[in-house]
Chains A and B, each alone.
Chain A
Amino acid sequence: MIKHTTTFCLMLAMVITGTARLNGQDDAGRTITGTVRDARGDVLPDVNVSVPDEFTHSFTDAEGQFSIVVTPGKSLYFSKQGYEAVSRDVEENTSTMEIVLDLSEDAGMVEVAYGKRSKVGLTHSISTVHAENLEKTPVPNLSNAITGRATGLTVIKNSGDEPGYDNSSIYVRGIGTFNSFREPLVMVDNVERDFRQMDPMEIESFSVLKDAAATVQYGIRGANGVINVRTKRGFTGRPEINFIAQTGFQAPFRLPDYLGSEEYAELYQQALENDGLPVPEDPRFDPSMYDGTQDSYTFPDVDWYDEFLKSYAPQQQYKLSMRGGTPTIRYFMFMGATLQNGIYEYADVNPQYNTNPKFTRYNLRSNIDVDVTKSLLVSVDLATRVENRHVPNSSAGSIFSTLSQLPPNAMPVLNRDSSIAGTSIYRNNPLGMISRTGYRDNYRRILMANVEATQQLDFLLDGLSLNGMIGLDGTNYYSTGRSQSYAVYQEFITTDTTEYIQYGENSDISINTESFDGSFEYMLTTIGGFSYSGGDENAALAADLKYMQSKYFLNGNNIAYANQGFFGRATYGIDNTYFVEVGFAYNGSENFMQGHRFGFFPAISGAWIMSNESFMSDSKRFNFLKMRGSLGKTGNGRLGVERFPFEEKFYAGGGYIFGSGYGTSDGSYEGRLPNPDIGWEESYNINVGFDMEMKNSMEVAFDLFSHYRVNIITTGTNTIPSIIGQNLPYENNGTVLNSGFETMVKYGAREGNWFYSLQGNLSFAFNRILNMDEAEGLPAYQSREGKSASAIWGLEAVGFFRDEADIESSPLHTFETVQPGDVKYRDQNDDNLIDYQDQVVIGNSIPQLNLGILATAGYKNFDLNMAVTGTFGRTVLLTNNSIWILQNNNKATAIAYEAWQAGRENKAEYPRLTTISNNNNYNISTLWAKRADYLKLVNFELGYSLPDRVMSRLGMSGIRFFLNTYNLASLDMIGRYNLDPEVPDAGVTGYPVMRVFNTGLSLKF
């Protein structure tokens, strides 16, 4: 840690001294003042005013005014990102200048698939995440930061998991298939890459491509939606240097609260009685022994969570970016370091090694654009990322499962003789798991390179260009570690001896470093083709026609993944009012049989800017109003099943041991039956929407969509006799209809020293399976057709058995012999039996409604940012042992007091307590399915910037202090169980979800 802090300080020092030199003034010059405005006549602040070839420069202030000393005969250069730079000579007598900057060609353009289009005439359904806002969420993994930030996004945390392993699943417009591959395609700078471990400071734009018009270019890869990320590039002008140092701490968001030994012993007795088992005469079962007066080795009362988890763990991030350039060479450079620690106590008690989880990440990027000639632009982007993850050899899952299982009186942490305690039942002691099982370091090194050249072909046709790009990605991952095992000891005290029985075995740490699964994988992507842009406002045409191929080479004998095809697009605009676009992809993947590999995916879309029509030109309500519509077909070639389903499959292996030796005989076996005609999923998408901007500057975007997905993979499992004896061939037989709407409303205003803006994102998507090759004759309630692809199935609990008579008169519950206090289920098919045929839909695992509220406010030099996200219509199953208490050697939370007990039947929320597992009560049912709706304050940030006058004195353009948080608060119904509504198992069977408090400093030069 100290090492890279030092490095950063050093770099910072260099930057500061460098900048100070830039500010040195030349006495021989004269002072020029003036104002810079945009084409509409509004003043432009923050325009860089500089003297080429000299280090002299200045910025315009909030009123657009500048003042600079320059030697006559030189020229002044005015630049600002998003505007065309202007150069003006300084004559002998010049003392003031009035400058007008026009929007640059790029301004008003938005990133679309493999290109840019004018935002005004855009016919696609695209929503964007503002990358600068992602910087305000203090989490290294970007998938956790984008939640709620754009419409059409569903983000669900997968798990808590140790630093560096926490991730969220992302869906675009919910899910449109029952295939297991449901996630969108992610493109970073036109190459399929992961964005999750990127730093937000590297990102220029982050957009979610939703409808067919937006995704059709990806053809066979586009049906699940696309996330399109572009990194920052340089610009002509004085360098912008940005440095951020931040440090904070992470604390578990929620942890279950288990009862102590006294309550536990009491409840355990009650449970034994319920089970009809006698309470053993052992005094350890006596609650009164835990009043603190007894020997704590025989009668322990251990709070395992408290003992083994720190209340917080530190994290730090440092980043530095530089961006600028000359008219011919422009650059963006970034480097960042991230460090996160884990929360295990006792990780350092073993002098040989420390096992506390640690995640270190370094990001480095250099994007350079060079105008080699007037018409040839070459870009070279190099980025690399190093990710190191250090963890104990015992997984977080096993450590937390142990913490959440060990009863408080099971054993002490250490025995009287300081040996690690254990019992014949509890052979894992978290102390041993954390400090004596060894450690593992997982390393990942990623190199990403793009080299691109664009040649204007104006000599052939004005506006025509040829472009080629090569992307090379290499990933090297390997892990090393050393392992150790430990024994636990159980104390047996008889009248005169103390005996320790040993379970397991102590071993020394392995001498050699063990290395595991080292591998190197790389991907080669090439894209190239023609672009044309021409015409004028009355009739503008923009068109692309390109070829792409990519191949992802895996380790060893694994067959590479490959994509190949053409794509193109032509957008035609008339009078800046009517736009029509046709797009297509003709592409294929290696996963299908030759001759069945390529598909044609077309889309047509249009936009009508009503506000440009004469009848609306005087509108008092609208500045801008656009209607949009699109229709098209996309595909999904990742079927969520084994690869190459078209080919006959036989495998070597699966031999048998014959003879007195230990060798296995030769073996071979047949695999799944092939279907040579197997193809990809196809999605027919329709989308209509509008974008508008009111006179009061309120912006609204609305989209209504319906995606009809056909050819989803099914097998004849439900229709073809299984006496065939082999896995049945895959068929393209399933259909899902996914529909919904999205709306974004944004409003902002500036009044005096105040400014504020508010954005709301609302996305709703619901899907129905229309066909999935089910058996005929299923009763409607059992059919999965007509239900959601994310439906959760289970029994419908109707209460608890009151008494034996109640059991007698109820249908036979087949899972277990039931008794009063057990869960009673509804007999859905009236066959007088409760079994799996009585399962119905009891919830939905993917939320239908996603909400995001983003608020920003500022007063003078203070600023405030807030992101609230909510999901609705999702169900979680609470099946971990903080809810399924006592049974199966578990301990108990306060839920135990809500369990059914003779005498308080009517207040019962949960079945009777039991010490043994119970297949009836602990079956998936409505009893354990809870609404996981939540509103979370994902992000909150308060910032203070030093005033401009201080800045100009320091020769800097900004110093800002900030305090921000992640996951500060949540409003939900799972909180009463002390569980996270997104991942109810976090902290129980896995690493907890974290809440982060973070503070930092940002410097701009």
Chain B
Amino acid sequence: MIFGVALIVPHSCEDAFLDKEVDITLTEDKIFSDVHYAPGFLFNAYNTLQPGFSRYDNAMLSSGCDEAEHSYSGSMVQMFNNGGVNSTMNPDDVWDHYYAGIRKVNLFLMKLTTTIEETNSIPEAMRPRMRGEAIFLRAMFHFELVKRYGSIPYVDEVLTTETAEDIPQLSFDGVVERIVADCDTAFIYLPEQNTDADMGRAINASALALKSRALLYAASPLNNPGNDVSKWERAAEAAGDLLAMRGPVVSLESRFEYVFQNPYSREVLLATQPQNTNNFERLNFPVSYGGQGLTNPTQEMVDAFDTKYGVPIAQDSRYDPNNPYLDRDDRFYATILYNSVVFKGRPVETYVGGKDGLQSAPTATRTGYYLKKFIDPSVDLDRGTTVRKPWIIFRFAEAYLNYAEAMNEAYGPIDSVYDAVYDLRKRNYILTSRARYPAGMTKGQMRERLKKERMVELAFEEHRFWDLRRWMDAEQVLNRPVHGMRIGFNAADTTYSYQRFEVENRVFDAKFNWYPIPRKEVLKGYVTQNPGWE
């Protein structure tokens, strides 16, 4: 009786019973006045950068263009190939993802001059660099959006539910101008190089690399229908500025394959974080090595590699169609796993009937090839060993290709074009003389050669998918079948026979040059849909 009354009295009018006993909630002010959380907020924004190893339903973007076929036909990446992408379903719909990243850096920039400055949660000396990183990331995230959607809002403030509708949708060129401006600003604030502990953060060359790529895209036929040469000149200048940075901090690796074995190579200008993983190997080791063998390079990709004499296979009489993998450009061996090449101590068997051959398993190769690039053969899937695996976003090699392409378009195949390509190619040939293109090519011939060079050098690095679009080549190149190699094995004389075959027909419509803006956003009325997608 007494305790009944006692119960009622103390609590009856007290709201405190419902309060948290311990309030561990972090508020905006707590975060930005804290010496760990304040810089951590910017570091967290780096997570927005996406590795391209398995992003598209376990596939690489390469499998959505003519570099590769994905052996699991149910993967959403196939929507790029059968024309299935639409405004409600797109395996690469990153609209929300990058705008979320943009909010992070904008919020950080806003706090940098308010709470952070007031509380000195980031020492004054460190602030300029972090400002540069935030501005660079803002440009980077917008570039990821603009190359996909074409015309987007450029957001440089922290939006509220009220202000979000007032941000204008800019044209492609309008967005690139903002990106370039942000890159220029970031360049000033960013350091020339990272200390060991800072490896992986943006440096000034990262900003210049982004500027170079953005201007190259803007000068390309898709975005430069009148072929305004000054746009090429501007792109060439940016690429030239980047090339000029060559030195102890940034330069080419001595060997092509070293780039992909070193998380902090001096050739890499920006990469995603080097997580320890074996997921990529699990997905891409040939099937008999315990992988799923998902990314299968096409015959088109294989054919793009020159012979070791530096000559395209079609023009090289030394190329033997009955022994097609002999004497090729070094990069071929670092990029493709082909029949009979020794991998992890034994030969890969992609011949029909072989352990890794066509149809030997549901996700066995569909082209006769497996991927080598990025794969670390030391990974032991049974024991679950892992390796550091950053995804390269910018590497110095691209500068040579950007420069050569823009110079050729702006000024024709002048010496500096030849020199730039030579400088890049010479690490791939025992005889460096073979790295030089034959003199006397026309601007058109040079253009074709450079396109192929780009395909080979930057294969599987998420370039060709966009390059084909900006060159407006996709309507032809991606609108026809891709091929593979059916290899027969004659046990009697242990010889192989080679037969090209059509793996899959591909469909590409002009509207696919741009992604559709997600329909849920278009319905809100603040953005206009891209042509063909309405």
Contact = CB atoms under 8 A, between A and B. Distances in A.
Contacts of B11: 547, 549, 564
B256 interface: no
B52 to A, nearest CB: 17
Contacts of B47: 654, 656
A503 B159 CA distance: 52
Nearest to A279: B359
Interface stretch (A74-82, A379-387, A712-720, A962-970): A712-720
A918 B82 CA distance: 12
Given A528-B7, A659-B199, A551 B17 contact: yes
Contacts of B161: 673, 716, 720, 724, 728-729
A648 B383 contact: no
Contacts of B287: 424-425
A650 interface: yes
Contact of A916 (B73, B76, B159): B73
Interface stretch (B100-108, B237-245, B392-400): B100-108
A723 B151 CA distance: 13
A662 interface: yes
Given A528-B8, A656-B43, A656-B46, A670 B82 contact: no
Interface in B182-199: 196-199
A453 B88 contact: no
Interface in A655-682: 655-662, 665-670, 673
Nearest to A723: B99
Contacts, number: 265
Nearest to B15: A594
A306 interface: no
Given A501-B288, A650-B30, A835-B88, A720 B20 contact: no
Contacts of A278: 359
Nearest to A526: B7
B17 A549 contact: yes
A559 B99 contact: no
B362 A547 contact: no
A728 B164 CA distance: 12
Interface stretch (A155-163, A534-542, A812-820): A812-820
A650 B199 contact: no
Contacts of B95: 722
Contacts of B74: 888, 916-919
A187 interface: no
Given A505-B383, A647-B25, A453 B3 contact: yes
Interface in A614-661: 644, 647-652, 654-661
A919 B86 CA distance: 14
Interface residues of A, number: 95
Contacts of B382: 487, 502-505
Contacts of B288: 424, 501
Interface string A555-571: 00101101010100000
A232 to B, nearest CB: 24
Interface stretch (A84-92, A116-124, A770-778, A862-870): A770-778
A687 B86 CA distance: 48
B84 A667 contact: no
Given A505-B382, A657-B275, A814-B79, A648 B84 contact: no
A725 interface: yes
Contacts of B85: 814
Contact of B4 (A528, A648, A673): A528
A648 B44 contact: no
B83 A814 contact: yes
Interface string B356-397: 000101110000000000000000001100000000000000
Given A376-B1, A455-B1, A559-B22, A835 B524 contact: no
A217 B12 CA distance: 17
A453 B26 contact: no
B273 interface: yes
A721 B526 CA distance: 7
A725 B100 contact: yes
Contacts of A197: none
Interface in B92-142: 95-96, 99-104, 106-107
A723 B153 contact: yes
Given A649-B25, A667-B43, A836-B89, A775 B164 contact: no
A566 B520 CA distance: 45
Contacts of A667: 40-41, 43-44
B27 A657 contact: no
B353 A281 contact: yes
B492 interface: no
A594 B19 contact: yes
B86 A833 contact: yes
Interface string A760-784: 0000000000000001111000000
Contact of B18 (A589, A656, A670): A589
Interface string A595-615: 001000000000000000000
Nearest to A547: B8
Contact of A659 (B78, B101, B198): B198
Contacts of A833: 86
Considering the complex of A and B, which 8 residue pairs feature the smallest CB-CB distances, nearest first? A468-B4, A725-B103, A917-B74, A666-B40, A668-B37, A775-B523, A455-B1, A814-B84
30 contacts: A468-B3, A468-B7, A503-B290, A503-B382, A528-B8, A529-B4, A594-B15, A648-B27, A650-B37, A652-B36, A656-B44, A657-B274, A658-B199, A658-B200, A659-B200, A660-B196, A660-B264, A665-B40, A667-B40, A721-B165, A723-B102, A723-B153, A723-B155, A723-B167, A776-B523, A814-B84, A816-B84, A835-B84, A836-B86, A837-B519
Given A670-B107, A721-B167, A814-B85, 16 more contacts: A423-B361, A492-B355, A529-B8, A557-B22, A562-B18, A657-B274, A658-B198, A667-B40, A667-B44, A723-B167, A778-B523, A817-B82, A835-B88, A836-B86, A917-B73, A918-B73
